[in-house]
Structure 1
């Protein structure tokens, strides 16, 4: 009985501490379901960080903007969000402009779907192994939605994405994270 009680206590503490991912299918386990721009990439069951698949975008000529995106509503009075993403780059051409790279970008929009702010979470050029990028961002006061873009931004090469996660943060959690990174 004592073991059951301890196990139950552990399970409850894990559930209380677990944060819910606002994105659906952030690990690409269900193909590209819930992601827009499916024509811009594919799934890779061979090169993945975890699970069954990763998503990839590749481009060999043209250096166009290619991306997947997903938009989700924010709960009222959301103070901040934390976005984390695993990304791997292969042969991403080095362009003169910094923004021309493999990237994870979040955009905040208002009730009229107009942009009220954006942040780059990850940017990579050349060839990298899997890297976990993570960033906490204060939500603009007029933001109602968040759009997560996984992109190969006007350059050529191949980029893989996996385990994309967006969670909400309270003011205290955000302050604690920011004081740890300074």
Structure 2
């Protein structure tokens, strides 16, 4: 009986520590399902970080804004979130402005869908191999939703995205991550 009790406590601690990805189809295993802006890119079964696909955006002329995005709700009393994304760049043109690059950006919105905060998670120019970008962000007090944007922002080249995740963090977990980063 004592062994069963200890085993049960172990299972409960594992389950309660598990983090759920708020992003649906972040690995692009189900085509571009759950992503807006499907006309801006395609799937790549050839160049991917894991699974069967990655998403890609390429543009050779025009240097327009091209992006996929997905909006998810934030649970009440969420203290912080951690965004993680794998990104690979090929021939992204270097522009004067820093924001003109391959990017992963999150935007916090309130109940009226007004922006209350924004964070750049990743930015790349030139050519890179797959890089895992990760950032923990405190959720603004009045934020109700998060919009994640995977973009080729007003420049030319090709960018691949895979394994996009947003998980919630407690105040303790957020503080621990920030103290480790220093």
Query: Please, what TM-score do these two structures have when normalized by structure 2?
Result: 0.94
Q: Secondary structure at the match of 1:10?
A: helix
Distance 1:66 1:9 in 2: 48
Q: What is residue 9 of structure 1 aligned with on the other side?
A: 9
Distance 2:54 2:141 in 1: 33
Distance 1:52 1:11 in 2: 31
1:20: Cα distance to partner? 0.0
- C-alpha RMSD of matched pairs (Å): 2.0
Gaps of 5+ in 1: none
Aligned positions of 1:139-178 closer than 5 A:
139-178=139-178
Query: Please, what TM-score do these two structures have when normalized by structure 1?
Result: 0.94
Please give the per-residue CA displacement for 1:94-144, whole angstroms capped at 9, x wherever unaligned: 000000000000000000000001000000000000000000000000100
Distance 2:25 2:139 in 1: 23
Distance 1:57 1:2 in 2: 56
1:14: Cα distance to partner? 3.7
Distance 2:52 2:43 in 1: 10
Change (3 A) 1:150 1:2: same
1:10: Cα distance to partner? 6.4
Q: Number of aligned residue pairs: give it.
A: 182
1:18: Cα distance to partner? 1.6
1:29: Cα distance to partner? 0.3
Please give the per-residue CA displacement for 1:41-99, whole angstroms capped at 9, x wherever unaligned: 00000000000100000000000000000000100111100000000000000000000
Worse-matched range after superposition: 11-20 or 96-105: 11-20
